[in-house]
Amino acid sequence: AVGPIWKDGEHQEANKLASCYWKALDLAAGKDLTTIAFPNISTGVYGFPKKLAAEVALYTVRKWAEEEYDSSIKEVRFVCFDEENLTLYNKLINSEVV
């Protein structure tokens, strides 16, 4: 999935990023895949703030899973490029916030 370029947060960037995850999950489920892996979409050269990107990713995947509970997808992996992203994801995954 290709994510949005971060401009200033005033151009629906978070919604566009959420749409990347949602559409990728829909496509994977449509092919009866059981596992999908996501990198830290848009957080590199596209400049999306890492914490916000992690929150969007986790929230979107959880909402999608709630709505598509009978999907073939049984495992979602988040592949972190660096320690900062890994720390953010671990913290968010283990919290009730997202």
User: Hey, where are the domains in the chain?
Assistant: 14-93
What's this model's pTM, rounded to 2 decimal places? 0.93
What is the CATH number assigned to the segment(s) 14-93? 3.40.220.10
- 31-88 per-position pLDDT tens digit: 999 999 999 999 999 999 999 999 999 999 999 999 998 999 999 999 999 999 999 9
Under a CB-based contact definition with an 8 Å cutoff, are residues 92 and 55 in contact?
A: yes
User: How far apart are alpha carbons 27 and 10 in whole angstroms?
Assistant: 28
What whole-number distance in Å separates Cα of residue 7 and Cα of residue 35?
A: 32
Alpha helices in the chain (DSSP H): 13-30, 50-67, 83-93
